[in-house]
Amino acid sequence: MSAPLEAQPPRVSDQADAQALVADLLATLEALEAVMARESDHVRVGRLREGLAEAERKTTLSAAYLQGLEALKANAIALARFVPEEIETLKATHRRFAGIVEVNQVVLATARTVSESLVKTLVEELSKARTPTVYGRPTHLPSPYGRAGATPGQPLVLSRNL
């Protein structure tokens, strides 16, 4: 058995090919920016379901963008010769995109931290409520299995439909 062949990046042979390659990558980049901006906006205000609704589209656009970058790298010399001004536009757009990615990562990291904090607080409150106290001090009940000091494990149930 042979390994599957990966798709070869398109070869740029004239100015029209170069312009088409750059235009395709710019269109993909702009669509990806829009998806990430919507995701950040939704997650920032707590609408997680709406924010993560376009995850599949984001993944598809990210893959297309990475393939486009590979095609640009493979044709760097031809692009510099045929469309140098469009390469500068692409670089500026890429810098703007890097800022959007950074903001998106901060928003997602914040949402994750808040979620983890909420779950941790919930677990602590549930375990406080289930720990018996004797004269104000937490006390462990004897284990039904004969292990001294063992505490009975309590399941934690979370709803995914928040």
Side-chain half-sphere CA neighbours of 31 within 13 A? 16
Res 156: pLDDT: 59
76: in domain: yes
Q: What are phi and psi of 138, to 5 degrees?
A: -65, 135
Res 147: pLDDT: 52
Res 153: pLDDT: 57
Q: Give the span between the Cα atoms of 32 and 10, in whole angstroms.
A: 21
User: Is the pLDDT reported for residue 34 higher than 50?
Assistant: yes
82: in domain: yes
78: in domain: yes
- Rg value, the chain, Cα: 27
Confidence of residue 3 (pLDDT cuts 50, 70, 90): very low
Question: pLDDT tens digits, residue range 86-135?
Answer: 999 999 999 999 999 999 999 999 999 988 888 888 888 877 766 667 77
3: in domain: no
Number of domains observed in the structure of the chain:
1
Query: Could you say which DSSP state residue 132 is in?
Result: -
Q: Tell me the residue range of the domain where 31 lies.
A: 15-104
Both structure tokens of 63: 């893959």
Instruction: Determine the distance from the C-alpha atom of residue 96 to the mean position of all C-alpha atoms in its chain, rounded to a whole number.
Output: 18
